[in-house]
């Protein structure tokens, strides 16, 4: 437990000390809010700014969860991870510390954007909504931290990790409905979006932030707050189950991969092409 807490605190300290990164991570998402919020005004979106803000918040949590895994890669390349693992501590504790740290920092970033969003468009009428929003961000942060840690254990080069991360996050973000409603996507891309786990995370989170949980399924479909696949509606309960299943899969994979990774073979060269994917 001491190892988990120590790595968690280390991650938080690194986040707080990186003030430039923190400022840009807060400013940049609002560019999408005003650009896409102005472009995609449609009849079914009651409050375009709040609609976009909810997507921006969950995308921030998602991207932060993956980005923080780059710190794990840096720890591997620098030799820090190897030094930690030669101590009596268990590898699973180190993995849990890395996951908890990434999930916490990504949630904090989401909260900061939410706080700003409360002044420009998001409004809560129930006191329990912020609690549900917080729990959702923590849950989604943990899920995608597992994805990030799994990637980190497979990629053995920090520069390559950044390229792969960008190649993964961009399509997953824009094909999730966070910025562009799924109904506006071409047919082929819409089917790709159905395979995107971020699509379900976005729909679930947006429904909670906009306080639409009381609506009927028909109303949720009309407001694009649930995913409809050729007439089959993925209900909020099914959406939650999908998110939990994805989280369990990647948390298990990342933990197993982390405990079996041979850190002595990690390349310290940033240009070693052979270090990609094991």
pLDDT at position 131 is 93
Q: How far is CA 198 from CA 36, 49, 175, in A?
A: 18, 20, 8
pLDDT at position 74 is 77
- DSSP string for residues in 23-83: HHHHHHHHHHHHHHHHHT--TT-S-HHHHHHHHHHHHHHHHHHHHTHHHHHHHHHHTHHHH
Which residues of the chain, if any, have pLDDT below 50?
Answer: 269-278
pLDDT at position 274 is 45
| 3 state DSSP class of 216 | coil
Tens-place pLDDT, residues 139-151? 888 888 888 888 8
pLDDT at position 270 is 46
Any residues with CB less than 8 A from the CB of 108 and at least 6 apart, and which? 15
For the entire predicted model, the pTM comes to: 0.81
């Amino acid at each position: 437990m001491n190892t988990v807490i120590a790595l968690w605190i280390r991650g938080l300290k690194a986040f707080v000390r990186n003030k430039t990164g923190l400022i840009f991570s807060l400013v940049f998402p609002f560019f999408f809010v005003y650009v896409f919020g102005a472009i995609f005004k449609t009849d079914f979106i009651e409050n375009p700014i709040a609609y976009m803000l909810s997507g921006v918040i969950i995308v921030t949590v998602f991207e932060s969860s993956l980005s923080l895994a780059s710190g794990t890669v840096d720890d591997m390349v620098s030799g820090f991870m190897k030094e930690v693992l030669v101590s009596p501590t268990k590898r699973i504790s180190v993995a849990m510390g890395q996951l908890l740290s990434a999930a916490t920092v990504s949630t904090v970033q989401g909260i900061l954007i939410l706080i700003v969003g409360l002044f420009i468009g998001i409004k809560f009428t129930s006191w329990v909504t912020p609690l549900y929003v917080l729990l959702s961000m923590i849950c989604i942060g943990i899920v995608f931290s597992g994805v990030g840690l799994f990637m980190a254990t497979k990629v053995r080069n920090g520069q390559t990790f950044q390229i792969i991360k960008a190649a993964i996050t961009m399509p997953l973000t824009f094909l999730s409905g966070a910025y562009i409603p799924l109904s506006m996507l071409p047919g082929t891309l819409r089917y790709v979006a159905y395979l995107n786990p971020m699509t379900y995370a976005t729909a679930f989170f947006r429904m909670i932030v906009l306080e639409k949980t009381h609506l009927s399924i028909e109303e949720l479909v009309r407001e694009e707050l649930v995913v409809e696949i050729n007439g089959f509606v993925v209900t909020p309960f099914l959406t939650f189950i999908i998110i939990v299943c994805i989280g369990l899969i990647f948390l298990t994979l990342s933990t197993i991969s982390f405990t079996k990774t041979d850190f002595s073979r990690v390349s310290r060269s940033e240009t070693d092409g052979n270090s990609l994917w094991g």
